[in-house]
Structure 1
Amino acid sequence: MNKTERLHHMLRFINQKQHFTLPDLMQEFQISKRTALRDIASLEEMGAPIYAEYGRYGGYRLLQQMQLPPISFNTDELHALYFAMQALRSFSDLPFQTTFASVHAKFMAALSDRQQENIFNMQQRVTFKHTEQIKNSSHLELLLKAAVQQLVIRITYPDKNATHDQSEAVSKTKTSIRVIQPIALNASKGYWYCQAYDLEKKAYRVFRCDRIISAVLTDMEPVNHLAEIHSEHLQSLWKPSEQAISFQCKISDLGMEQFQQNHYPSMRLEEHDGFYLLVGTYEPHELEFIVSYLAGYGTSIKIVEPEMLKESLRQHYLNLLECI
């Protein structure tokens, strides 16, 4: 980082802290005491209202908030931002009413002809393989707003044991009304998920956003302590229920590579006497899903238990043979 760039970063740093010391600058920017003193002098020459405080708890203080200069990016940072934006291309829905196309157009318009040419040349040599969003999720903005502002919403959601009436031309899915307080959104394997607290069931739940049929704000009081939950605690939302079924599969080296590319929070790898096991749990209503998932490993896995899962996978293969 050259001096001009460092001074810009330093302006933002001290504008945020208001009170700072030489060791603060030395640690933040990895510079010597002498360089820190020279930089403070340079900032004062630029008009930064800094004054020194002496004594045991002395240091430097900013007299007032400053109007910061526009953010500037060097060439490498521009390239990093551009290719980071490629992740947006996977999603037709985003929780902030924007699209990759609009972001991309504005970003490119701000670049010089030379910078645009550099990015075009890099595009010819760098490719990204994304998991495309599978189904649209029309309530992401409201879900994110509720999560950030700690609001309670009422949603219409399909029942777990939803059935279809085969006697009618158009099948009807059973639904239920759920009152939830969203905590966080995450995107995984082509779907958006909402981690939330169900106020009526008094339990944490994970909802697939594309399955939410309707969502409206309520004036109900939120559960205040949810705002204090840290990201590491959100993993508890994926804990199995009391009815969950445990499974174990022997897995080959090839299978472990596949596991690293595609697995779920309810699964993990364990080493036992020189070989590895794929272990995890699934809910009773997820049997068809887990069978389909394990079938994707082919001969890379062998189910150890439970016996019911073995039989279900065997029947899955027999059904496939009947289709040939």
Structure 2
Amino acid sequence: MMRKSERLQLMQRYVHRRQRFTLRQLMEEFSISRSTALRDIESLEEIGLPIYAEHGRHGGYRLLDTATLPPVSFTANEVLALYFSMQALQSFSGDAFGVSFHSIHARFLDIVTPHQRQQIEQFHNRISFYHGEQARTGEYLEQMLLAAVKQQIVHIDYSSARGTGQRRIQPFAVYVMQGYWYCQSYDLDKEAYRVFRCDRITGVMLSDEAPREQLSHFDLHNARSLRQPSVRAVQFQCAVDELSESDLQARLLPSMTLIDKGHDGWSVHGSYEPEEQEFILSYLSGFGIKLKQVEPQQLREQLKQYYQRLLEQL
């Protein structure tokens, strides 16, 4: 059960957000009885929240425009949860977002109480976070993030195995996976959905062109399934042993799907463009000895050659 003090804090913000509300809405929002809702309204009035009742068929409660929100406060568990999240996400902070993790960390410690700071120190001394290599961001990750959020069309200089060229795209989803940042976009010249690695973007210029309205309704969960292979794309599949479904799902790229083969394990099906060959070879080699039955034959031979090149470099 939520303590009354915590519920009243949440209720103050709910009332400020709604401005007008009914007793029934308050009961449903906080899963409380009618009598508890009435007592909570009285408590809000006692601490100075200017609420008054509106009578009549469409009556309820209304907050005066002069009301201000109280300072944000957190419970002990909420402080520890926030601190845990900050530590876990430390690898994603840095220049790419125009912020410093250490600056955020210092500000966070400034706003907590002395008792909460002592709890954080105890927490810090007993739980360790070992951060691996930071995801490769590239120089223009922040611009791509903003373009995706604002639904802006941009011209990018993009470097791939085929060389550097300019692309006219509308980004609408950015995500990190397997040590790289990816930007899901609509390629306006090719009229097709494409994924770009952000660290391969070598230049960005904002366009005055009006964005495609239909793309504004997509979110990341929809966007990952939008990529359509070109006529040049190579279809492939491979079997993977000794990895759980969750581990495999975490490794899948937008152009791939996971097939349950029952007792035979899992099979990854997907496609890649010819210019993505080196990337797909590197991706498949990451499965190590768990990788089985790579098809087509051409990809299997290319993978063998890839392993041979690695051995020759040792």
**Residue aligning to 2:288:** 298
**Residue aligning to 2:105:** 104
SS in 2 for 1:213: strand
Tell me by how many angstroms 1:53 deviates: 3.2
Whole-Å separation in 1 of the counterparts to 2:19 and 2:44: 14
- Counterpart of 1:189 (choices 151, 160, 178) is 178
Tell me by how many angstroms 1:36 deviates: 0.3
**Residue aligning to 2:298:** 308
Tell me by how many angstroms 1:33 deviates: 1.0
- Counterpart of 1:242 (choices 213, 231, 235) is 231
| Equivalent AA in structure 1 for residue 54 of structure 2 | E
Q: Is residue 226 from structure 1 mapped to residue 227 from structure 2 by the alignment? A: no
| Equivalent AA in structure 1 for residue 293 of structure 2 | I
| Equivalent AA in structure 2 for residue 180 of structure 1 | I
**Residue aligning to 1:278:** 267
**Residue aligning to 2:121:** 120
Instruction: Map 1:15-26 to 2 at 5 A.
Output: 15-26=16-27
Q: Is residue 289 from structure 1 mapped to residue 279 from structure 2 by the alignment? A: yes
Tell me by how many angstroms 1:22 deviates: 1.8
Q: Deviations over 1:162-193 (max 9, x none)?
A: 2xxxxxxxxxxxx2222333223222222222
Whole-Å separation in 2 of the counterparts to 1:314 and 1:186: 31
Whole-Å separation in 2 of the counterparts to 1:138 and 1:47: 50
The 3 A distance-change label for structure 1 pair 119 and 239 is farther
Q: Which runs of 5+ in 2 are unaligned?
A: none
Whole-Å separation in 2 of the counterparts to 1:226 and 1:279: 28
SS in 2 for 1:79: helix
SS in 2 for 1:201: coil
Instruction: Map 1:72-87 to 2 at 5 A.
Output: 72-87=73-88
Tell me by how many angstroms 1:130 deviates: 4.0
Instruction: Map 1:158-177 to 2 at 5 A.
Output: 158-159=159-160, 161-162=162-163, 175-177=164-166
| Equivalent AA in structure 1 for residue 289 of structure 2 | T
Instruction: Map 1:139-158 to 2 at 5 A.
Output: 139-158=140-159
Whole-Å separation in 1 of the counterparts to 2:296 and 2:121: 53
Tell me by how many angstroms 1:2 deviates: 2.0
**Residue aligning to 1:50:** 51
CA RMSD of aligned residues (A): 2.7
Q: Which runs of 5+ in 1 are unaligned?
A: 163-174
SS in 1 for 2:152: coil
**Residue aligning to 2:167:** 178
Report if aligned partners of 1:52, 1:61 keep a CA contact under 8 Å in 2: yes
| Equivalent AA in structure 1 for residue 190 of structure 2 | K
**Residue aligning to 1:201:** 190
SS in 1 for 2:74: coil
TM-score of the pair, normalised by structure 1 = 0.84
Q: How many residues align?
A: 312
Report if aligned partners of 1:88, 1:100 keep a CA contact under 8 Å in 2: no
The 3 A distance-change label for structure 1 pair 252 and 308 is same
Q: Between the two proteins, what is the percent identity of the paired residues?
A: 47
Tell me by how many angstroms 1:306 deviates: 1.4
Whole-Å separation in 1 of the counterparts to 2:144 and 2:304: 41
Tell me by how many angstroms 1:231 deviates: 3.4
SS in 1 for 2:265: strand
Whole-Å separation in 2 of the counterparts to 1:73 and 1:198: 44
| Equivalent AA in structure 1 for residue 285 of structure 2 | A
More off after superposition, 98-107 vs 262-271: 262-271
TM-score of the pair, normalised by structure 2 = 0.86
**Residue aligning to 1:267:** 256
Tell me by how many angstroms 1:94 deviates: 5.5
Q: Deviations over 1:201-258 (max 9, x none)?
A: 3333222222221222232222233222233321234443333323333332347675
Q: Deviations over 1:36-61 (max 9, x none)?
A: 01111122223333233344433222
Report if aligned partners of 2:192, 2:227 keep a CA contact under 8 Å in 1: no
Report if aligned partners of 1:269, 1:276 keep a CA contact under 8 Å in 2: no
SS in 2 for 1:220: coil
Whole-Å separation in 2 of the counterparts to 1:144 and 1:257: 27
**Residue aligning to 1:66:** 67
Q: Deviations over 1:279-309 (max 9, x none)?
A: 2223233333333333333332321521122
| Equivalent AA in structure 1 for residue 205 of structure 2 | V
Report if aligned partners of 1:93, 1:138 keep a CA contact under 8 Å in 2: no
| Equivalent AA in structure 1 for residue 203 of structure 2 | S
Report if aligned partners of 1:131, 1:189 keep a CA contact under 8 Å in 2: no
